[in-house]
């Protein structure tokens, strides 16, 4: 009888234990997903997300840690400001969620089994290594990095001029995981000191370097730039882009010429227009109208067009001089496969004097942006399109490329944002272009950068070091017996 009661109590205790474990898991997923969701707009939420997940990982099982990491990343990435509609984006989203959850599970396994300070280093190097490898093979480049959530955290992101975004990701993962280890093992003072001394020292260095770079005067000249877009819906845009209605095409060109006139009157030396505003065949009437507008207003005009060359289509950008001459013709290198399969990708850099050209998705990749920095480019102009709600997600990536490359960035998103930022990532001007009436204009004066960033010279060395560190640590720890580190934390 007594034995039966004891057995029943054990069963009930087990059930309640499982219930609370499940509740803890669900609650962590909810908080982490919401926090990561909000990190698109508020940089500090991404730190909170990583701290919540690392703390949970040290308490939960290996399976629950993986599932919590997976669903937190998956749901948190469903922000409407994501780079692409989910129907197109979901396979990569699942892969990224799986990779993130796997690195989190490895962190948990090492920390619980060996209780060593190596766990935070494994987590940071592993997450950074995955983002880097994914950027080499993903059709979307490096756009999925958590580093972009920090664009508004100016002093922190300056390290990108040395390490690229990989240094940002590394420290974002290192500090929360170190804090989680300290919280979980409060009695282990040696572990606390080891885990936090490195991460806090690195954070202090990064912040001090950031303050130094932000307050060091930029030696480049100033340039006044005008950026414009006109209001149009998708149906109108497609009609004009394919030249199906000559009158609509003429009206579109005329509306843009009015914007060019307005910006020139405001003192703009350079006018930037969005991506694929019309279709052009070599030196046709549409081409001539744009050339005449540049000549009439004595401005450099940079415009994104669909360029038809015989049987091929190119997503191109023309740079017109104040005399109406074509200084540069650049073809987009990184096409959006879901929507631009009929276009032929470009192969060459777009450099005129010290100006570089990138078109929309080109900025999602470290190349050609890094090559521009190596060539001493001081500003990159970016005609772009965007998909309404994702304007900031695209704009912040371009801003980060400017910090990495030490150059200013001017970006014209048709259905997103018009932005002008300097080589430190400071936003000089920003205006929404996703409007229904009239369109949008921006005029701002920005100091040019100098290019030749440290990152452009070192390349992705830091990312490769992270990959090597992750592999070596995992291999080394797999050969050690758990009690070897238990006695020597």
DSSP 353-419: TTEEE--GGGGGSSTTHHHHHHTT--EEEEEE---STTHHHHHHHHHHHHHHHT-EEEEEETTSEEE
Per-residue confidence at 285, pLDDT binned at 50, 70, 90? confident
Query: Which tens digit of pLDDT belongs to each residue from 379-437?
Result: 999 999 887 777 788 899 999 999 999 999 999 998 889 999 999 999 999 998 877 77
Instruction: Locate 140 and state its tokens.
Output: 């979307």
The separation between CA 218 and the C-alpha centre of its own chain, rounded to angstroms, equals 24
CA distance 357 to 401: 13
Mean pLDDT in the chain?
Answer: 88
Does 330 map to a domain? yes
From first CA to last CA, the distance across the chain in angstroms is 47
CA distance 396 to 148: 7
* Backbone dihedral region for residue 459 (phi beyond 0: left; psi -120 to 50: alpha; all else: beta): left
Same domain, yes or no: 172 and 226? no
Of residues 319, 224, 325, 329, the one with CA closest to residue 270: 224
- What domain range is 326 assigned to? 222-449
How many domains does the chain divide into? 2
Does 61 map to a domain? yes
Q: Report the CATH number that the domain containing residue 305 is assigned in CATH.
A: 3.60.110.10
Does 454 map to a domain? no
CA distance 132 to 464: 8
Same domain, yes or no: 480 and 435? no
Average pLDDT over residues 276-303: 91
Contact 427, 402 (CB under 8 A): no
CA distance 291 to 285: 10
Average pLDDT over residues 263-272: 96
CA distance 416 to 414: 6
Q: Residue 369: is its pLDDT beyond 80?
A: yes
CA distance 328 to 270: 14
191 SS3 class: helix
Same domain, yes or no: 299 and 195? no
Average pLDDT over residues 304-326: 93
In 39-159, which residue ranges form alpha helices assigned H by DSSP?
Answer: 44-57, 62-76, 86-114, 118-137, 154-157
Same domain, yes or no: 289 and 399? yes
What backbone torsions phi and psi does residue 159 show, to the nearest 5 degrees? -65, -20
CA distance 383 to 402: 15
Of residues 125, 139, 136, the one with CA closest to residue 167: 125
CA distance 67 to 425: 36
| DSSP collapsed to 3 states, 310-333 | CCEEEEEEEEECCCCCEEEEEECC
As a whole-number percent, the residues of the chain with pLDDT over 90 amount to 65
Same domain, yes or no: 93 and 137? yes
Same domain, yes or no: 412 and 312? yes
Query: Which tens digit of pLDDT belongs to each residue from 135-154?
Result: 999 988 998 899 999 999 99
Same domain, yes or no: 142 and 193? yes
Say what the pLDDT of residue 298 is.
97
Same domain, yes or no: 295 and 433? yes
Same domain, yes or no: 121 and 250? no
List for the chain the helix, strand, coil content (%; round to 5). 55, 15, 30
Same domain, yes or no: 320 and 413? yes
Q: Which of 3 and 24 is assigned the larger pLDDT?
A: 24
Same domain, yes or no: 129 and 273? no
What is the reported pTM? 0.90
Does 70 map to a domain? yes
CA max distance for the chain: 101
Q: Which of 220 and 470 is assigned the larger pLDDT?
A: 470
Query: Which tens digit of pLDDT belongs to each residue from 73-119?
Result: 999 987 654 445 556 677 888 999 999 999 999 999 998 887 666 89
Residues contacting 58, CB < 8 A, separation 6+: 108, 111, 112, 180, 181, 184
CA distance 349 to 372: 8
Residues contacting 257, CB < 8 A, separation 6+: 289, 293
Does 26 map to a domain? yes
Contact 277, 304 (CB under 8 A): yes
CA distance 53 to 321: 53
Alpha-carbon dihedral 293, 298, 299, 300, rounded to 10 degrees: 90
Instruction: Locate 434 and state its tokens.
Output: 């996703």
Does 455 map to a domain? no
Instruction: Locate 79 and state its tokens.
Output: 């922000």
Query: What count of other Cβ atoms lies within 10 Å of the Cβ of residue 102?
Result: 15
Does 372 map to a domain? yes
Average pLDDT over residues 156-178: 97
Same domain, yes or no: 36 and 158? yes
Range with the poorest average pLDDT among 137-146, 162-171, 281-290: 281-290
């Amino acid at each position: 009888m007594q034995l039966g009661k004891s057995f029943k109590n054990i069963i009930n205790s087990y059930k309640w234990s499982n219930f609370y474990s499940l509740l803890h898991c669900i609650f962590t997923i909810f908080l982490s997903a919401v926090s990561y969701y909000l990190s698109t707009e508020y940089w500090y939420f991404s730190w909170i997300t990583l701290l919540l997940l690392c703390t949970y990982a040290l308490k939960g099982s290996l399976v629950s840690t993986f599932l919590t990491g997976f669903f937190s990343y998956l749901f948190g990435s469903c922000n409407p400001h994501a780079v692409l509609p989910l129907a197109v984006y979901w396979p990569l989203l699942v892969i990224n969620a799986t990779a993130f959850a796997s690195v989190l599970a490895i962190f948990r396994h090492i920390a619980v089994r060996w209780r060593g300070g190596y766990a935070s280093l494994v987590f940071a190097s592993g997450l950074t290594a995955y983002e880097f490898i994914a950027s080499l093979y993903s059709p979307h480049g490096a756009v999925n990095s958590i580093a972009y959530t920090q664009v508004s955290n100016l002093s922190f992101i300056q390290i990108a001029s040395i390490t690229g975004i990989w240094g940002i990701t590394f420290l974002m993962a290192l500090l929360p995981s170190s804090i989680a280890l300290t919280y979980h093992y409060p009695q282990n003072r040696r572990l606390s000191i080891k885990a936090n001394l490195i991460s806090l020292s690195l954070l202090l260095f990064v912040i001090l370097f950031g303050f130094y770079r932000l307050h060091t005067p930029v030696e480049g000249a100033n340039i006044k730039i005008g950026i414009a877009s006109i209001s149009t819906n998708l149906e109108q845009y497609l009609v004009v882009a394919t030249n199906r209605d000559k009158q609509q095409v003429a009206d579109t060109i005329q509306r843009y010429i009015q914007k060019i006139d307005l910006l020139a009157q405001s003192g703009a030396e350079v006018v930037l227009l969005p991506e694929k505003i019309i279709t052009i065949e070599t030196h046709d009437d549409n081409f001539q109208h744009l050339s005449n507008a540049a000549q009439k207003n004595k401005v450099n005009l940079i415009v994104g067009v669909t360029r038809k060359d015989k049987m091929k289509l190119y997503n191109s950008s023309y740079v017109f001089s104040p005399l109406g001459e074509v200084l540069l013709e650049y073809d987009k290198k990184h096409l959006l496969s879901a929507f631009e399969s009929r276009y032929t990708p470009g192969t060459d850099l777009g450099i005129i004097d010290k100006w570089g050209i990138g078109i929309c998705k080109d900025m999602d990749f470290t190349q050609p942006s890094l090559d521009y920095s190596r060539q001493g480019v001081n500003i990159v102009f970016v005609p772009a399109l965007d998909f309404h709600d994702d304007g900031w997600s695209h704009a912040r990536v371009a801003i980060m490329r400017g910090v990495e490359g030490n150059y200013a960035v001017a970006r014209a998103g048709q259905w997103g944002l018009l932005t002008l930022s300097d080589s430190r990532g400071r936003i000089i001007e920003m205006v929404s272009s996703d409007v229904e009436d009239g369109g949008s204009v921006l005029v701002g004066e920005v100091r040019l950068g100098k290019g030749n960033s440290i990152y452009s010279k070192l390349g992705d060395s830091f990312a490769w070091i992270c990959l090597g560190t992750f592999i070596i640590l995992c291999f080394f720890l797999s050969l050690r017996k758990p009690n070897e580190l238990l006695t020597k934390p």
